[in-house]
Structure 1
Amino acid sequence: MSNTEIQDGNALPTVETARKLGVLPEEFDKIKDILGRTPNFTELSIFSVMWSEHCSYKNSIVWLKTLPKESDRMLAKAGEENAGLVDIGDGLACSFKIESHNHPSALEPYQGAATGVGGINRDIFTMGARPIAQLNSLRFGNPELAKTKWLVKGVVKGIGDYGNAFGIPTVGGELFFDESYNTNPLVNAFSAGIVEIGKVAKATSYGVGNPVYIVGSATGKDGIHGATFASEDITDKSNEKLPAVQVGDPFMEKLLLEATLEIIATGDVIGIQDMGAAGIICSTSEMSAKDGFGMMIDLDKVPTRQANMHGWEILLSESQERMLVVVEKGKEENIQAIFDKWDLHCMQIGEVTDSKRLHFYQHGELIADVPAHDLVLGGGAPQYHRAYTEPAYFEEFKKFDTNAVKDVDAAEIVTVAEHLLSHPNICSRQWVSQQYDSMVGTATRTTNAPSDAAVVRIRDVKRPNYNKSIAMTVDCNSRYVNADPFVGTQIAVSEAARNLVCSGAEPLAVTNNLNFGNPYVPEVYWQFVEAVKGMSKACLKFNTPVTGGNVSFYNQSSDDGPVFPTPTIGMIGLIEDPERQTTLAFQESGDLIYLVGAPKDDIASSEYLYSFREVKKSPAPAFDLEEEHSLQESLKAIISSKMASSIHDVSDGGLFVAVAEAALPNNLGFQIATDSNFRKDAYLFGEAQSRAVVSIKPAMQGAFQKLLGEALKTPHALIGQVTNGGFVVDGQTIIASEKAQELYNGSLGKLFS
């Protein structure tokens, strides 16, 4: 095809044009080879977004392929559908996924976060699954900065307003502050839904002549080149790219949810895909490439919000609440009637062809002719093996000597306790969670029975007494990962599994959100590679395959450098019997408190060391994967024995914070004793892994010790007793219950209100 046959009113692009669109010179040459000619501006724009890191994973896919992706429960190949899918028994499956909206949230926190929530929920219901719960993982810079306060308030309100209006409960998440996130906050959104096996919708396209529809909202100029924007560093000029931030409408999304599930139920849908990153061009190319078909699309038929939009603007717009649907020919009236009922746009814009190419027309002229396969991940999109180098700081961190830090004395224990209970990385997230509706749908089982993971009952209209629940969590201590990406990511996977196990669930599978700096920086890429290796090792150990997820590179700036490497782990588990659900909260004064797992003389990378002692350079906390696996198997046995009144894992803030968090929900106290074989700061505030606090009734003591000592051979120690008030360590009242409640529950609100 000659250039004269491709019309868009623009001169042919140059290498400099390509650079401005984020296309490397060698990639520009490859595009010309693929097309057999120089692309026009529309075609180059198409390749620029589809070959961006955000869409193609060109700098990460070679390592993502090494992650474990197989188990008996996996129902969809990792990354090949809109979201992951695992079998939970009884003819049901759980669809779940996590994705980032970091760059948009850095510029416009309210809409950036809100549209992140909308996008991840669309990924779930395009699978045919009804969303049942949402989580989020949020990271911000120094909380004392005015900019951080603005970002936090905007992001939290955006998540709350969108999720609450959409009607899906937000049931948990995590919040972390560090100066490495001053410029680049991380906003990772997670959603999970339930679908009947056999009624799952696919992101595919086939059948020559089958009509192609765009449904939902009209298309505007918001979000154009958003995928490209997400694939570059934040700079002083990033505010000029505000049009790359999408605008959301949760009420429209609610209508779209109901209409989408209704059309899928008809059986008339061949394929369906959310229009997220890169909009129409992403959906048309990925759906076409999957089964080797093509499409002919008339852009004049796309409902638009603004007049005289260019073809490339329509193709690349990331306007929210839109889907691309391929329908069985002859069933058009059925689909149209459903969308008319829900008062949503439903417009046929093209049809499936056998050309394996995408032909886009506007004003009767062909403005782009591109091969679908060459645009997509796993097709012709480039895949790079980037150079990586161990950073100099890695060996520096290993030189840390615990003995160089003085231990705490009796008076200092009080100061450290108050510091940790009020620290924004540890204190209650009540100020955040109260802005979210966690009870809509009345299926949340952890609102009044807090546990280490959120638990949501599965509703089945065919079985009113159905009692299975999905447990879910998002976890990553990025300080650990920065200190040692290989070990730190193993810890992230382990903590996610541990949180599920402590709640009574069996871990099933993982979705991940890999947040890193610029992949062209060898030290940053080394962090990424080591993190993937660590994730693989831990996921294999816990039999939790990776169902998919998201890679977010370029989270760095010239002022602050890269963010802490943050491979956020989203993990789901299954609770077969509601009697297995276990709270983290102490239940009654007089109950015995046990530490299960072996303490260590270790304070490395702890919040105590980092923010109280202000020692920033230390390795990851003590961790052994075999020891962790053994602990989790022991916790499962404890829950099966029905001996535990509560179980809470020891993580951020160490043993003292874990015991405090167990006492606070029911306004109880505790008396515990330290072990003279260990430093007091390490015993109380160190964050060595593979430990949990378990409370039991005194009458259970003999059987409990026999189970752990003889049957399981798990390290354990009776460390104290639940009381009616006061936090007492070694006979010294560290803090009164009332003050502890004030510090723990009120500090975040005081900081941001």
Structure 2
Amino acid sequence: MNDEITVEVARAQGLSDEEWERVLQRLGRKPNLVELGILGAMWSEHCSYKSTRKHLKYFPTEGPRVLQGPGENAGVVDIGDGQAVAFKIESHNHPSYLEPYHGAATAVGGLVRDIFTMGARPIAALYAVRYGAPTHPRTREILLETMRGMAEYGRGMGLPMVGGELGFDSSYDGNCLVNGFVVGVLHGDRIFRGTAGEPGMLVVAIGARTGREGIHAAVMASNEFDEESAATAPRTVVGDPELERRLMEACLELMDKNLIVGIQDMGAAGLTSSSVEMAGRAGRGIVLDLDKVPTKEEGMTPYELMLSETQERMLAVIEPAKEREVFDVLAKWNVEGAVIGRVTDTGTLSLRWHGEEVASLPISLLTEEAPVYDRPHAPTSEQEARRRFDLTSLPEPEDLGKVLLDLLASPSLASKDAIDARFTGGESVVKTSRDGAVVRLEPGRLKGIALVANGLARMVDADPYDGGRITVAEVLRNLSVLGAEPVGLSDNLNFGNPEKPEIMWQIVQAIHGIADACRDFGVPVVSGNVSLYNETAGQAILPTPICAAVGIVPDVSRVVSTTFVDEGHEIALLGTCTGEAGGSEYLFRQFGRNLGPVPRLDVAREKAVQAAVRELVRAGVLASAHDVSEGGLAVALAECATSGIGAVVRIEAKGRKDFLVFGEDPSRVLVSYDPARRAEVEAIATRAGAPFTVIGRTGGSRLAIEGAFDLPLDQVLSAWKNGLKDAFGF
């Protein structure tokens, strides 16, 4: 049978010719089809990170609060009082383009399993999504169906989806991005991990019966899309949130009763990745009796059983003496389970089918010996030219009011109320806003956490390194506006084909930019995901690293509004307007290009502004606080006015007026407060070292920046509220 295995068969399983030769040399024989399928999955980009593993080591992953860093199902950070939070961002990009509803639904399901696998109860989720141009024929369908999928799966789990962020660009026409971020709470001394334990322990499959869904999905996610992708895609993976809810409760009870040694979600590559990764972490081997795996279809083969990606399945390792107790808990929650193998000391993955060994591979070959590439990375001349473009050569628009209305009406910046109305909140949710969300940890307690997810693809496209740094600063600033102290970050690297030097350059530069910023701000990267080959017919998406972060909120009752709350309040700017428009939404909307140079990040100023707004919120002296980001000061001011309260402000900074009002220079926050509290506000800002300037006052029925625009507030609100409706009819 092995004689039929050729290099052509290996290619079909996702291996390169070089990797095929490497397998032959390492094994000293040809692998059979089952073994080849396992190698193809574990060596895929999706599972092995072979193009980025070398560079991911640059991330700072340690810190005084870190209880579990990268390498497990999720990161875990100490938040005091014996509590910890587990969190992770993950993507389901390719599946969501092919089957928007089920792809997005199972994205939520997979993330939920990653969190409760650590012993944490999920309490909140965010979305971070990108779609094609609003005029593309599939954009509306993909938008509606992915949002419906996430909403219905989350609702079935009782998981609040507390907000998120979205964007539109033609680069996503053939490859949407569906990223999700889930946070859970656990006891800091009760973390569970995906380890195989000791030889002789039992391996148990828990949850759904295995079917033929998703076979080869990990390999598919490691390749570009083309015209044949839809026809050759694996069978659709369908989620069952009710089963997942019972599965979660069963697993958490097993953990609470200390009946589990190790546990892993059967995610990408299913039983293959879960068994191999658990054995690899423990330095053990594993024997699986595949004929004992519960199935829902007749005639399934070992190859199919190992590579199926049926959802709602876990793999656990237990002590033999606790088998009866484990199955009693599973029966209580009406969750199926079966002993399908045992842990060994051989360091080998051995698969048996009715007593006959059908595959045998060294665990090390599938884990630490997987390929690691140092791919060529260099910018094109066009990329270099865009980084150093002379922005002053661009003509200045005559009507900045019209520009503002155009920005507010663009689907990327318009109101998301029609989207967020689809999601279910919860009693623990204190606040949701464009800046992020705040969730109470326990009923009746003031302590909570804030969670934020954001990406600045245009900024990263204009300059991947500095764009990566600014992305981190933006996410941490959003937490600070909510009064939260940032404690950890999770990243999702969404990029095109790493085999192209110009794409690999974007990846490397962005990683280093994110890593350097995390070091600057003392925030560790504790989990994350890499999604590459986001291309269709050779067209790559914009480089889109999404950063998500969590912060501690000592008193959720002090969190302030992001919109104006009363007339006659003073408006002040924390930070400085420098009029740097590179990488901005304004440049793209006005001139159709993502151009640099991007703004400079002054780390000292950013730290000071974040410290100031955090203290101001906690001191209870502000009425509102909102950071300045996409669309610049003008859009931020308009967003503050969406409460129906107008404002007039003056900018004293010198420079091109359009760059001053629409530039996205970082380290800025708009605050409003009762004028009687100005001395307190200014004293706190000064003590933090943050620039503080009173720029205007709330009130009236107009929105104006003197010398730039003066618009009726109703016109501003109409543009913002109707952006998605005008584009998509809802």
The interval holding the TM-score normalised by the smaller chain is: over 0.9
Match of 1:18 in 2: 10
1:279 matched to 2:270? The reply is yes
Matched residues in 2 for 1:199 and 1:347: separation?
25
Instruction: Note if contact 1:153-1:752 (Cα within 8 Å) is conserved in structure 2.
Output: no
Match of 2:148 in 1: 157
Instruction: Note if contact 2:559-2:618 (Cα within 8 Å) is conserved in structure 1.
Output: no
Matched residues in 2 for 1:399 and 1:480: separation?
13
Q: SS of the counterpart of 2:429?
A: coil
Instruction: Note if contact 1:726-1:733 (Cα within 8 Å) is conserved in structure 2.
Output: no
Matched residues in 2 for 1:621 and 1:147: separation?
34
Match of 2:534 in 1: 555
Q: CA deviation at 1:727?
A: 1.5
Q: SS of the counterpart of 1:269?
A: coil
Match of 1:427 in 2: 414
Match of 2:34 in 1: 42
Instruction: Note if contact 2:625-2:670 (Cα within 8 Å) is conserved in structure 1.
Output: yes
Sort the Cα spacing of 1:676 and 1:338 in 2 relative to 1 into closer, same or farther, 3 A. closer
Taking the TM superposition and a 5 Å limit, the aligned residue runs for 1:569-608 are 569-608=547-586
Picking from 488, 492, 503, the partner of 1:509 is: 488
Picking from 620, 624, 635, the partner of 2:602 is: 624
Picking from 96, 101, 125, the partner of 1:110 is: 101
Matched residues in 2 for 1:45 and 1:216: separation?
24
Taking the TM superposition and a 5 Å limit, the aligned residue runs for 1:45-64 are 45-64=37-56
Match of 2:373 in 1: 384
Matched residues in 1 for 2:200 and 2:634: separation?
66
Q: TM-score, normalised by structure 1?
A: 0.94
1:477 matched to 2:456? The reply is yes
Matched residues in 2 for 1:705 and 1:274: separation?
51
Match of 2:674 in 1: 697
Instruction: Note if contact 2:462-2:582 (Cα within 8 Å) is conserved in structure 1.
Output: no
Letter of the structure 2 residue corresponding to residue 606 of structure 1: S
Match of 1:718 in 2: 694
Matched residues in 1 for 2:702 and 2:324: separation?
68
Q: CA deviation at 1:185?
A: 0.8
Match of 2:646 in 1: 669
Taking the TM superposition and a 5 Å limit, the aligned residue runs for 1:227-376 are 227-243=218-234, 245-376=236-367
1:649 matched to 2:627? The reply is yes
Match of 2:431 in 1: 446
Matched residues in 1 for 2:77 and 2:386: separation?
39
Identical-pair percentage: 40
1:195 matched to 2:180? The reply is no
Q: CA deviation at 1:750?
A: 3.4
Picking from 540, 543, 550, the partner of 2:522 is: 543
Q: CA deviation at 1:731?
A: 8.3
Q: TM-score, normalised by structure 2?
A: 0.97
Q: SS of the counterpart of 1:491?
A: helix
Q: SS of the counterpart of 2:67?
A: coil
Deviations 1:450-494 (CA, angstroms, capped at 9, x unpaired): 4622111102xxxx5432111111111101001100000001111
Letter of the structure 2 residue corresponding to residue 329 of structure 1: P
Structure 1's unaligned 5+ residue stretches are: 1-8
Deviations 1:710-739 (CA, angstroms, capped at 9, x unpaired): x34432321111114321332897333333
Matched residues in 1 for 2:241 and 2:31: separation?
38
Matched residues in 1 for 2:409 and 2:260: separation?
53
Matched residues in 2 for 1:115 and 1:208: separation?
33
Q: SS of the counterpart of 1:75?
A: strand
1:518 matched to 2:501? The reply is no
Q: CA deviation at 1:390?
A: 1.8
Sort the Cα spacing of 1:198 and 1:12 in 2 relative to 1 into closer, same or farther, 3 A. farther
Picking from 49, 70, 74, the partner of 2:66 is: 74
Instruction: Note if contact 1:419-1:612 (Cα within 8 Å) is conserved in structure 2.
Output: no
Matched residues in 1 for 2:222 and 2:330: separation?
35
Matched residues in 1 for 2:354 and 2:483: separation?
60
Q: CA deviation at 1:580?
A: 4.0
Q: CA deviation at 1:557?
A: 2.2
Q: CA deviation at 1:77?
A: 3.2
Letter of the structure 2 residue corresponding to residue 419 of structure 1: D
Match of 1:744 in 2: 720
Instruction: Note if contact 1:136-1:190 (Cα within 8 Å) is conserved in structure 2.
Output: yes
Q: CA deviation at 1:189?
A: 1.1
Matched residues in 2 for 1:83 and 1:706: separation?
40
Sort the Cα spacing of 1:53 and 1:213 in 2 relative to 1 into closer, same or farther, 3 A. same
Instruction: Note if contact 2:453-2:548 (Cα within 8 Å) is conserved in structure 1.
Output: yes
Match of 1:3 in 2: none
Sort the Cα spacing of 1:707 and 1:295 in 2 relative to 1 into closer, same or farther, 3 A. closer
Instruction: Note if contact 1:541-1:629 (Cα within 8 Å) is conserved in structure 2.
Output: no
Deviations 1:199-233 (CA, angstroms, capped at 9, x unpaired): 22110012222111101111111110111000001
Instruction: Note if contact 1:248-1:321 (Cα within 8 Å) is conserved in structure 2.
Output: yes
1:99 matched to 2:90? The reply is yes
1:564 matched to 2:536? The reply is no
Which of 730-739 and 154-163 deviates more?
730-739
Matched residues in 1 for 2:507 and 2:562: separation?
33
Q: SS of the counterpart of 1:445?
A: strand
Matched residues in 1 for 2:59 and 2:653: separation?
43
Picking from 388, 398, 419, the partner of 2:387 is: 398
Deviations 1:586-614 (CA, angstroms, capped at 9, x unpaired): 12100000111111132222222211243
Instruction: Note if contact 2:605-2:690 (Cα within 8 Å) is conserved in structure 1.
Output: no
Q: SS of the counterpart of 2:499?
A: coil
Matched residues in 1 for 2:708 and 2:89: separation?
45
Q: SS of the counterpart of 1:16?
A: helix
The two structures, once aligned, show a CA RMSD in angstroms of 1.7
1:491 matched to 2:470? The reply is yes
Matched residues in 2 for 1:280 and 1:458: separation?
34
Matched residues in 2 for 1:163 and 1:61: separation?
32
Deviations 1:50-99 (CA, angstroms, capped at 9, x unpaired): 010111111110111111011000001322x2100000111111000011
Matched residues in 1 for 2:261 and 2:704: separation?
64
Q: CA deviation at 1:176?
A: 0.7
Instruction: Note if contact 2:46-2:221 (Cα within 8 Å) is conserved in structure 1.
Output: yes
Deviations 1:248-284 (CA, angstroms, capped at 9, x unpaired): 1111111111111111111010110000000001111
1:87 matched to 2:65? The reply is no
Q: CA deviation at 1:697?
A: 0.9
Letter of the structure 2 residue corresponding to residue 28 of structure 1: W
Sort the Cα spacing of 1:255 and 1:11 in 2 relative to 1 into closer, same or farther, 3 A. farther
Matched residues in 2 for 1:554 and 1:466: separation?
45
Match of 2:705 in 1: 729
Match of 1:414 in 2: 401
Matched residues in 1 for 2:216 and 2:693: separation?
57
Letter of the structure 1 residue corresponding to residue 470 of structure 2: I
